[in-house]
Chains A and B, each alone.
Chain A
Amino acid sequence: MTTSPQQPPGLTRRDFLSAGAKLGAAILAAPYIVRAAAPQEAGDTINVGLIGCGEEGRVLLSAALKIPNIRFVAVCDIWPYNRGYGERLLKKFGHDPKPYEDYREMLSDIPGIDAVIVATPDFMHAEHTNASLRAGKHVYCEKLISNTVEGARSMVATARATGRFLQIGHQRRSNPRYVYAHDRLLGQAHILGRITAADAQWNRAVTEDLGCPAHQEIPEAILHKYGYANMHEFRNWRWFRKYSGGVISDLGAHQIDIFNWMLGANPRSVLAGGGRDYYTNHEWYDNVTAIYEFPTKTGIVRAVYQVETTTSAGGGYHEYIMGDEGALKISENPKYTRLYREARAPEWDKWVSDGLIIRPGTGEGALPPVKPWEKPRPKLSMVSKSDSTVDVRETAELSAWDMPVVLDKAIHQPHLENFFDAMRGKGSLHSPGEVGFATAVTVLKVNDAVAARKMLMFAPEDFTA
């Protein structure tokens, strides 16, 4: 079955013509030829090039290798260490990629590339994505779509002008548990009642800066050619303003994107605090806390986001959507995922009998049963062993419930599958450029708010690319 690639969401004929006119000169000036649209048939092998073979690139490689009918034909990285790593890794799995230092050479040298995965530092996303789109490739680009709103806007415009798919790597949007929570629990059942608050966190312990393996330094001239000041900044680009949006982008983007998605709204304001208080040799903040106001259909929701890079305390990484009848705590790690019922909510037995949720104590992430040789686990008691007791009767303890959905794949795999499926005409992108753009606007304003030390407002049109 031959199908045409779907038009990205929000693309109108006027948008197409407008963006196309702006980009026409650039496309004509591109050193490589834009191919005609190349519809993929359902079983066709998709030829893929990877730009950026660092840690995230290899994570995506590992996930993509499990998807049928995907062939990596090229890898590109300015660092020979990473490039060789990616090349040899793929060869272990039967691929035969051609290695490149310069993405322009890759795009012009292998016209048969159908899709490009961009996993480079954020400041290069726009350049790599726009060039790939103009060369006729569909693009999966890691989040944050770009470290600047302007860069993100250019990527959406190029995707529209070229009619190619642009998927941004907010992979939770393809995680079946997140999709289930969004579509079924919140969208259909409204199981949480009226959503009134949200919070999310991602706290990581102190880590040392990344070094360079012996004898693997990139010559300074090469680093400068590609925009890096030195090897230390190349290896630790996430901490420097030129290359990245900082921790609120690196970690927060994934979860703040969940605020926008689950709440079905963009925020109208953000208040934030943060600082470079621990790592004196970095430029970006090492801790940020933000408070958003979301004007949702059912009322205002305040959402708090915290990211720390000096402590792993706080109970893992998760997003918490709270309503007047229940709350959803969800994470890529299933052990942090739970539904909590407010005592005032109608009984959830109906949802259990409907198969929407499952009773506490079962499901993915539940505690394993006690083994015969293990001591029974102590029950949590609200009563102190001392003579004095603390009265905790203010509110009833929430009961925990589970979702009947599991993810038995690498966490990035479903999002890549969604990208390749869309190329084959099967479904639409879960995180197209427009979504990535709105998330970038939401995220990057936090840094402005930290610097301004005051609440900043969003206008609705800010979120439209």
Chain B
Amino acid sequence: MLRLLTAIIALASVCAVRAEEMVPLKLDLPKPLFVGTPRPIKVSNLEPAQVGTPPPFMVPAGTVLLSLNKPATSSDSSPVIGELTCVTDGDKSGIEGSYVELGPGVQWVQVDLGAPARLAAIAVWHFHAEARVYHAVVVQLSNDPDFKAAVTTVFNNDDTNADGLGKGSDYAYVETYRGRVIDAKGVTARYVRLYSDGNTSDELNHYTEVEVYGRPVN
């Protein structure tokens, strides 16, 4: 009887979610910035080239930007250039001074939203002044600042398990001014952590902006 009740409640929740009004996520995109001539890219799990404007990413009505000017921390507390404030300062221009460059190898940045929220999407711009691909991109959500408990992975293109978080099957992708919008799947979390392991131009890790969209949990 208890199982049946649980199933009914779960079904009702799903129906409620489905009944939610969905609207396109409105991103404030920076200007295209490719400078210079692209370097050769050899990546095993690169997504097929996309032509034209991508379809809108739909989010529940009432979704807002939660991450602007929220504190960011990192596995590299002493960046090569830039400050960790670049991660959430709203400057997506991609020019010098708008990004933070972390050291080589696997590195992460983490955004603290200040309170748990029901998350709809995470948009990330690593570095869009050049067509390049970041390796082993993994995005995780949690209410644990140490990401040891109740961690949800919402994106993983680490096909060699370079990050040590398990292999993922998402495509690697070329950075552009459009950034990359990742489905946060309605997970409730306070912290967002993004990993990478260098890129096709160098071994370093960059973040121009991370935007977390969702609705506060009341």
How many angstroms from the CA of A359 to the CA of B97 in the assembled complex?
48
Q: Are B80 and A211 in contact (CB under 8 A)?
A: no
- Interface: B96 (CB within 8 A): yes
Known: A213-B96, A214-B97. A205 touches B40 (CB 8 A): no
Give Cα A81 to B201, complex, Å.
21
Q: Distance in Å from the Cβ of B96 to the closest Cβ of chain A?
A: 5
Assess the A210–B40 pair: CB atoms within 8 A. Answer: no
By DSSP majority rule, is chain B's interface helix, strand, loop, or mixed?
loop
Partner of B97, one of A204, A213, A334, A335: A213
Contact partners of B95 in chain A: CB under 8 A: 210-211, 213
Within 8 Å of chain B (Cβ to Cβ): is A310? no
Is the CB–CB distance between A89 and B80 below 8 Å? yes
Per the bound structure, the CA–CA distance linking A62 and B39 in Å amounts to: 14
Which residues from chain A contact B104 at a C-beta distance below 8 Å?
Answer: 92-93
Shortest A97–chain B CB gap in Å is 13
Within residues 15 to 35 of chain B, which ones have a CB less than 8 A from any CB in chain A?
31, 34-35
B37 touches A204 (CB 8 A): yes
A239 proximal to B (CB < 8 A): no
Verify B37–A202 contact, CB threshold 8 A: yes
Residues of B within 8 A of A204 (CB): 36-37
B97 in contact with A216 (CB, 8 Å)? yes
Is B40 within 8 A of A333, CB to CB?
Answer: yes
With most chain A CB atoms within 10 A of its CB, the pick from B38, B201, B202, B203 is B202
CA distance A143 to B36 in the complex (A): 16
Bits for B77-120, please: 1 = Cβ < 8 Å to A, else 0: 01111000000000000011110000110000000000000000
Interface residues of B, count at CB 8 A: 23
A72 interface residue (CB < 8 Å to B):
no
A451 to chain B minimum Cβ distance, whole angstroms, is 27
- Looking at the assembled complex, report how far the CB atom of B169 sits from the nearest CB atom of chain A, in whole angstroms: 13
Interface size counted on chain A using CB atoms at 8 A: 27
The distance from the CB of B205 to the nearest CB of chain A, in whole angstroms, is: 11
- Residue A333 contacts which of B39, B78, B96 (CB distance < 8 angstroms)? B39
Interchain CB contact under 8 A, B202 and A207: no
- A92 to B81: give the CA distance in the assembly, Å: 11
Known contacts A85-B80, A92-B103, A205-B34; decide if A332 and B40 are in contact (CB<8 Å): yes
User: What is the bound-complex CA distance between A62 and B31, given in angstroms?
Assistant: 28
Chain A contact residues, majority secondary structure: loop
A residues in contact with B39, CB < 8 Å: 333, 411
Residue with the highest number of chain B CB atoms closer than 10 Å, among A84, A213, A216: A213
A22 within 8 Å of B by Cβ? Answer: no
A309 CB to nearest chain B CB (Å) = 11
Q: CB of A317 within 8 A of chain B?
A: yes
Complex Cα–Cα for A210 and B36 (A): 12
The proximity string for A residues 45-84 relative to B, scoring 1 for CB distances below 8 Å and 0 otherwise, is: 0000000000000000010000000000000000001001
| A406 (CB) vs chain B CBs: closest residue | B42
Min distance, Cβ B137 to any Cβ of chain A, angstroms: 20
- Inter-chain contacts of B201 with A (CB < 8 A): 62
Known: A85-B81, A88-B80, A411-B39. A62 touches B97 (CB 8 A): no
A374 to chain B, nearest CB (A): 8
Interchain nearest-CB distance for B85 vs A (Å): 12
What A residues does B98 contact at CB under 8 A? 213
Contact assessment for B40 and A84 in the assembled complex, using a CB-CB cutoff below 8 Å: no
- Contact between A88 and B81 (Cβ–Cβ < 8 Å)? yes
Contact residues in A for B31 (Cβ distance below 8 Å):
208
Given contacts A89-B81, A89-B204, A332-B40, could you give 11 more A-B pairs where the C-beta distance is less than 8 Å?
A: A85-B81, A88-B78, A88-B81, A89-B80, A92-B80, A92-B204, A202-B37, A207-B35, A210-B96, A216-B97, A335-B40
Top 7 A-B pairs, shortest CB-CB distance: A213-B97, A92-B103, A62-B202, A88-B80, A333-B40, A85-B81, A89-B80
List, sorted by A's number, 6 A–B pairs whose CB atoms are closer than 8 Å: A85-B81, A93-B104, A317-B37, A333-B38, A333-B40, A411-B39
